[in-house]
Amino acid sequence: MATTARSGGNASGSSAQRPNGTQQNKNCQFKLVLLGESAVGKSSLVLRFVKGQFHEYQESTIGAAFLTQTLCIEDTVVKFEIWDTAGQERYHSLAPMYYRGAQAAIVVYDIQNQDSFQRAKTWVKELHKQASPNIVIALAGNKADLSNIRVVEYEEAKQYAEENGLLFMETSAKTGMNVNDIFLAIAKKLPKNDGANNQGAPAGRRLNDNENNRQTNNCCK
Amino acid sequence: MHQSKSKPESRLAAITFFAKTHPGDVCGSNGLPLTPNSIAILGRAQKLKELKHPHLCQYLDFVRGKHERTIVVSEYFGTTLQDKSRSVLIEPLVVRIFYQIVCALKALTEHNLVVHNLEPKHVLLDDCDNVKLFNYGLYHMTRCGDYVPFPIGNVRYMSPERFLGSKNNIKSDIWSLGMIVAELLLQTKFWPNLKISNIARKILSFCQTNNVFERIAREHNCLERYEQINGELRILIENCLSVTPAKRPLPTDLFTHEVFSKDIEAYAYTEPPKPTILLYRCPLEQIYYWWQLAGGDVQGELKKEGLIRSEAPILAIPQLVCLNGKIVGPKRSQSYLMDDRVVPLKLNNLYEKLCNQPAMAYFPLIHSPKFPHNFGAGMEQLPLVIRERDIEYQFYRVRLFSRLLKGYPYTSEMIRKEAAKDIPPYLRGPIWSCLLDVIPIGSYGKIDKFTPTSTDRQIEVDIPRCHQYDELLSSPEGHCKLKRLLKAWVTAHPQYVYWQGLDSLTAPFLYLNFNNEELAFLSLYKFIPKYLQWFFLKDNSAIIKEYLSKFSQLTAFHEPLLAKHLASINFIPELFAIPWFLTMFSHVFPLHKIMHLWDKLMLGDSSYPLYIGIAILKQLKNTLLASGFNECILLFSDLPDIVMESCVFESQKMYECTPKSVSHRFHVLRETPLTEFDLTPDVTLSHLQAEMCPRISANDFTSLLHYAPTDMCALDLRSAVEFSHVRVPHSINVPFVAAQLAEPRLDALGVSQLVEMLQGRIVICMSNKHEHEFSKFLVECGVQRVCVLHKGFNILHTIEPNILISN
Ligand SMILES: Nc1nc2c(ncn2[C@@H]2O[C@H](COP(=O)(O)OP(=O)(O)OP(=O)(O)O)[C@@H](O)[C@H]2O)c(=O)[nH]1
Ligand SMILES: [Mg+2]
């Protein structure tokens, strides 16, 4: 199976949004949100996935950051629109704005931090309750490069993931281990043949349902 | 006052050494690279700059070079004791030197510092035979030598216990002092021909000796001279050279000792004559700053002296790299060895640049109109970057502000006025604190910064991610300080909580006041209520929502087409502007940009940041207008290079031309209460969110009408009949007809030359209904500066004196 990560950033741009049958390949875009305790490595995972880089002094995230990346699975081009959220509990009230309408979520914890694993479980619960029912959730045990000082056992997390129907991988944004793989696994699990995901509305539209929306949609022509 | 034309002798010097390099790929327990030792040194060394004492050479700067090189710049002048003692020194002079070194040690103990490298080379004497210690901070800055690959201290003057690993005891310095003075009194250098290892053995052998001084004298055939030494003095030296540290006197004991007090006049510091060169009357740290602006380059000076040698990198390539990261290859070259030469920094260049400056420029008289102090006049027009690097201009500014700061708080107004021109980077920290009305009262020391709290984890994970490209902020010392500041702020504000971002907000203040945590704290303490009132409440959603809605309105006010576009693609500020405002841009820009941004921010009120936000949008306008939602949001996830100077210029312009009530927010720290002619609290968040254009108060409306009628254009939307009864002078009647608003075209209104009449003016829509609909229409037509009269036309009836014309 040919799977390549295409450089995303802003380059892949608008053409992928309106695949009005002009392209041979199927085009899908999915909105994906990253959730998890602060400093578990959400931003680092996204940076690794989107730019192949790792910054040891990755800045903390305030509010949220948005990035895109495209993957090819067989004949399908999958574009992820990724919302990387702030981890501090206080920013919690913003989270629904980002996971509402998301088709996929990666809930991240840090394998050397037990609290972050508990926090991940509460995120999963919240997603099951509040997010769209078909959402594909992956659990990522990040900082796997530090597995010699881990406190969250692989088996424990694996079992939890199975019980809750989550994809699960241990990842390392530092070494790149399993980073592309977890996004790929999500991409594979997402439905790609119904029309729902490739109707060409930019992802931002789906944020419409927040109450700040001051006017009716003036769809750009 | 005339300046003598004598050439300046040097007052500054640099030394250099290498910090220990971390081996290969070693990581900390968090899996991330270790902080380089040179950075750790830099952080620790900062506090040394604060030591200003007549018997201590002032530290001025610490610079990191390549490959963990550390360069220390400090005061240096006169003769070393090493040189001076080549000829015999008379006993009173020796006692004087003894006493003054004691004074220096006493000052250092007061700061919990030990020297541990005290030797004659590090004792300087000026023309009046005043002593100044040099290089006394090496042990401290290298954390007891941990950060450097070489041992600290000259074996010859090292106390026995130091050989055995004892550290951090000032008594070890007392031993060194004893040895220095003993050499001077016996007029001989001890063990001139012994190898280092033998000297060490010798000193350790003293452990069996009762009277070290006597034994040394005997060994050097100086017993006669030893016996001639004044008895009291001799005993004092013997005490200093006690093998047991506990038996040695403390600097404070020595300080008050009879040997000195009986003729203290002869031994105490002699005030040297005032330097004839005016430049030398300025603080040394200013001289050094200007020296750099005048082209001084420490690394260059060291290169000239052969202390920094560059070698072909190919010579350093390893021959073998093992998989575990071990490197086999050429040894570090000779140029990496410790070389303790002192390189004087020549001041000629600087002197030549400044010697023709009038005395008044050195010491501006700020209160006498007869003596103007605007020396840099005319240069304000130059670009800021040029002014900041111009030696003469910075000389004027630094001198002027030094004077003004001394007079604070009485000079507040003048500081504000001068700061509006520009802020000299050298004094930015204290100037900002004045602009924020900070008055240090010693309260910081009393705040608990240590008791563990539930926010500690968040603070601890945020600090290592906060402006870590900066050497100071990434040093362990910087981390400790930032943590203390954040904890202190949280403790001092029980009503608030730590939000991620507070770290970034604090960083600029720490960066500027690294050695003055209290000033950093108080600046932050004042800054937050001024610009971010209630942002740090546990539930701040009402405040943020109001802020962002106002931001949208002001964007529509100044950039209607952009606002229209952004609204149409649903690019709402909630998605990108929270980090901007919560951190006043300190999370999105590097420090050097924040400096220039905040220089202006500090002079504005709580609405200023909103204009900065708009200025950023404006700078990216073309890209934004051509982009859809995804491209726009991507642009802000990785904010492109914003040109600060134009950003600041634009925000200033908008700030100045916007009536205050237009930027009104309910959630601000208010000094004067609102009246019925201001924006009243009945304007709620839902109004803000529903209305595209901001409201203007009746107060602002009338003052525009009175003082700047040509800056405004009032559009009266009432019917022609109502208008003919009563109206505002010069207002234009555009009776509201909903049908005209179907298409965003101004000519549909049927008012001739409307575009021209609105151009460049504040457009105020007045009615008792429909004004919001209408104003939105104007925005969509691209009309700038549209606002709506709060409380409608009817409010104008109640204004006294009457402003209306009626028929
Ligand atoms: N050793 C190791 N460190 C990592 C890894 N991923 C991230 N880090 C480090 O962990 C810290 C936090 O990473 P971030 O990506 O900022 O964490 P975050 O989850 O985005 O945090 P918030 O933005 O506060 O929610 C950074 O210093 C990273 O360098 C990893 O896989 N291994
Ligand atoms: Mg993050």
* pLDDT, tens only, B391-405: 999 999 999 999 999
Cβ atoms of residues B481 and B439 within 8 Å: no
- Please write the tens of the pLDDT for every residue from A92-110: 999 999 999 999 999 999 9
Measured in Å, residue A50 CA sits from the centre of ligand 2 at 14
Has residue A4 got a pLDDT over 80? no
- Residues of chain A in contact with residue B471, where contact means CB-CB under 8 angstroms, are none
Whether pLDDT at A2 is above 70: no
Q: How far apart are CA B802 and CA B791, in angstroms?
A: 17
Q: Can you list the positions of beta strands (E) in A36-157?
A: 64-73, 76-85, 104-110, 136-142
User: Do B597 and B384 form a contact (C-beta atoms < 8 A)?
Assistant: no
Q: How far is B478 from chain A (nearest CA, A)?
A: 15
CA B613 to chain centre: 24
Measured distance CA(B435)–CA(B531) in Å, rounded: 13
Both structure tokens of B766? 């007045």
| φ and ψ at residue B339, rounded to 5 degrees | -130, 110
The shortest CB-CB distance from A145 to any of B31, B569, B633 is to B31
Residue B697 structure tokens: 């108060």
CA A42 – ligand 1 centroid, Å: 6
Residues of A with Cβ-Cβ distance to B636 under 8 angstroms: 66
ipTM of model over 0.85: yes
Q: What is the pLDDT of residue A210?
A: 41
**Over 80: is that where the pLDDT of B22 sits?**
yes
Specify the ligand 1 atom closest to the Cα of A172: 31
Tokens of B714: 């009032």
Average pLDDT, chain B: 93
Eight-state DSSP code of residue B797? G
8 Å CB contact between B180 and B189 = no
> What residues 538-597 of chain B have any CB closer than 8 A to a CB of chain A?
538, 541, 545, 548-549, 552, 567-572, 574-576, 578-579, 582-583, 587
Q: Please give the residue that has the higher pLDDT: either A204 or A192.
A: A192
**Pocket, ligand 1, Cβ cutoff 6 A:** A 36, 38-44, 56, 58, 60-61, 86-87, 142-143, 145-146, 172-174; B 30-32, 464-465
Query: Which pLDDT value is given to residue B334?
Result: 62
pLDDT on residue A152: 97
The pLDDT value recorded for residue B28 is 86
- CA–centroid distance, A37 to ligand 1, in Å, is 10
What DSSP string runs through B112-139?
T---S---GGGEEE-TT--EEE-STTHH
d(CA B712, CA B728): 12
Q: Whose CA is nearest to atom 2 of ligand 1?
A: A143
Q: With bands split at pLDDT 50, 70 and 90, how would you rate the model's confidence at A204?
A: very low
pLDDT of A7 over the 60 cut? no
Mean pLDDT of B357-367: 89
- From the list B272, B279, B419, B271, the residue with the least C-alpha distance to B363 is B279
How far apart are the C-alpha atoms of B226 and B213, rounded to whole Å? 8
Rounded mean pLDDT of B331-358? 85
- What is the least distance, in Å, from the CA of B489 to any CA of chain A? 18
Checking if the pLDDT of A21 tops 80, the result is no
Query: What is the number of CB-based contacts under 8 A between chain A and chain B?
Result: 127
Tokens of B199: 């000297």
The fraction of chain B above a pLDDT of 70, given in percent, is: 98
pLDDT at A201 over 50: no
Q: Say whether pLDDT at B379 is over 60.
A: yes
The full DSSP string for B11-71 is: -EEEEEEEPPPPPTT-B-TTSSBPPPHHHHHHHHHGGGGG--BTTBPPEEEEEE-STTEEE
Q: Which atom of ligand 1 is nearest to the CA of A108?
A: 19
Task: Supply the pLDDT for residue A22.
Answer: 46
> How close B37 gets to chain A, by Cα (Å)?
17
| Contact call for residues B492 and B522 (beta carbons, < 8 A) | no
pLDDT at B313: 74
Tens-digit pLDDT profile for residues B250-302: 999 999 999 999 999 999 999 999 998 999 999 999 999 999 999 999 999 99
State the smallest CA–CA distance between residue A163 and chain B in angstroms.
30
CA atoms of B676 and B100, how far apart (whole Å)? 71
Calculate the alpha carbon distances from B240 to A71, B98, B100, B108, B130 in Å. Answer: 76, 11, 15, 18, 22
Q: Minimum mean pLDDT among A18-22, B387-391, B746-750: which range?
A: A18-22
Cβ <8 Å between A204 and B466: no
pLDDT tens-place string over residues B335-348? 667 888 999 999 99
- Record the pTM: 0.93
Residue B261 class from Cβ within 10 Å (0-12 exposed, 13-18 middle, 19+ buried)?
exposed
Verify cis geometry, omega within 30 degrees of 0, for the bond prior to B313. Answer: no
**Chain B nearest-CA residue for A59:** B465
Cβ distance of B499 and A59 shorter than 8 Å: no
Query: Which tokens hold the place of B140?
Result: 């401290």
By CB atoms closer than 10 A (0-12, 13-18, 19+), residue B480 is middle
Cβ atoms < 10 Å from Cβ of B224: 8
Which of the four pLDDT bands, split at 50, 70 and 90, describes residue B93? very high
Q: Is the pLDDT of residue B594 over 80?
A: yes
**Which pLDDT belongs to residue B316?**
73
What are the structure tokens assigned to B648, written together?
């600041």
Give all domains of chain A, ordered by start, each with its CATH number.
26-189 (3.40.50.300)
CB contacts of A144 in chain B (<8 Å) are none
**Cβ neighbours for A84, distance < 8 A, ≥ 6 positions apart:** A34, A42, A43, A46, A61, A64, A65, A66, A67
Question: What whole-number distance in Å separates Cα of residue B155 and Cα of residue B799?
Answer: 87
At residue B108, does pLDDT exceed 50?
yes
Please, which pLDDT band fits residue A24 given cuts at 50, 70 and 90?
A: low
Q: What is the pLDDT of residue A194?
A: 53
d(CA B173, CA B710): 77
Q: What is the mean pLDDT of residues B472-490?
A: 98
> Given B458, B464, B572, which is nearest A212 (Cβ)?
B572
The confidence score (pLDDT) of residue B375 equals 79
Q: Which atom of ligand 1 is nearest to the CA of B464?
A: 27
A178 CB neighbour count, 10 Å cutoff: 20
User: Counting Cβ atoms within 10 Å, is residue B720 exposed (0-12), middle (13-18) or buried (19+)?
Assistant: exposed
Q: How far apart are the first and last CA of chain B?
A: 73
| A172 CA distance to ligand 2 middle (Å) | 15
Closest chain B C-alpha to A86 CA, distance in angstroms: 9
Task: State residue B310's pLDDT score.
Answer: 75
Does the beta-carbon distance from B30 to A9 stay under 8 Å? no
pLDDT of residue B7: 57
Position of tokens 């104007």? B778
- φ, ψ (nearest 5 deg) of residue B278: -60, -35
Which protein residue has the closest C-alpha to ligand 1 atom 13? A41
CA distance between the termini of chain A: 38
Give yes or no for residue B550 having a pLDDT over 90: yes
Q: Do B569 and A220 touch (CB under 8 A)?
A: yes
Q: Which positions ≥6 away from B717 have C-beta within 8 Å? A: B734, B735, B736, B765, B766, B767, B770, B771, B774
Q: Which of A170, A212, A213 to probe by mutation at the B interface, max B CB count within 10 Å?
A: A212
Token pair listed for B367: 């209160």
Task: Return the pLDDT at B488.
Answer: 98
pLDDT at position B767 is 92
Interface mutation target, options B545, B570, B775, chain A, most CBs of A under 10 Å: B570
pLDDT band at A8 (very low <50, low <70, confident <90, very high): very low
Burial class for B303, CB neighbours closer than 10 Å (0-12, 13-18, 19+): middle
Phi, psi angle pair for B747, to nearest 5°: -65, -15
Number of Cβ within a 10 Å radius of residue A85: 23
Rounded to 5°, the CA angle B101-B106-B110 comes to 150
pLDDT in tens, B647-702: 999 999 999 999 999 999 999 998 889 898 999 888 999 999 999 999 999 999 99
Residue B24's CB: how many other CB atoms inside 10 A? Answer: 11
With CA atoms as reference, report the closest residue to B119 among B183, B75, B167.
B183
B612 vs A6, residue with greater confidence: B612
Question: What domains sit in chain B, N to C, each tagged with a CATH number?
Answer: 12-75+282-349 (no CATH), 79-267 (1.10.510.10), 357-435 (no CATH), 444-532 (1.10.8.270), 541-658 (1.10.472.80), 685-806 (3.40.250.10)
| In chain B, residues 484-513 whose CB comes closer than 8 Å to chain A | 497, 499-501, 503
Q: The tokens 């081996």 sit on which residue?
A: B23
The answer to whether the CB of B35 falls within 8 A of the CB of B503 is no
Report pLDDT digits (tens) over B732-782: 999 999 888 888 999 889 888 999 999 999 999 999 889 999 999 999 999
Interatomic CA distance for residues B405 and B615, integer angstroms? 32
User: Between chains, do B465 and A68 touch, taking CB under 8 Å as contact?
Assistant: no
B454 part of contact set with chain A, CB < 8 Å:
no
Chain B from 612 to 651: CB within 8 A of any A CB: 628-631, 633-637
Distance (Å, whole) CA B430 – CA B513: 8
Q: How would residue B464 be classed by pLDDT, with cut points 50, 70 and 90?
A: very high
Residues 235-254 of B with CB under 8 A from A: none
SS3 for B442-474 is CCHHHCCCCCCCCCHHHHHHHHHHCCCCCHHHH
Query: Residue A216 pLDDT > 60, yes or no?
Result: no
For CA atoms B688, B690, B694, B697, the dihedral sign is: negative
Q: How far is the CA of B464 from the centre of ligand 1 (A)?
A: 10
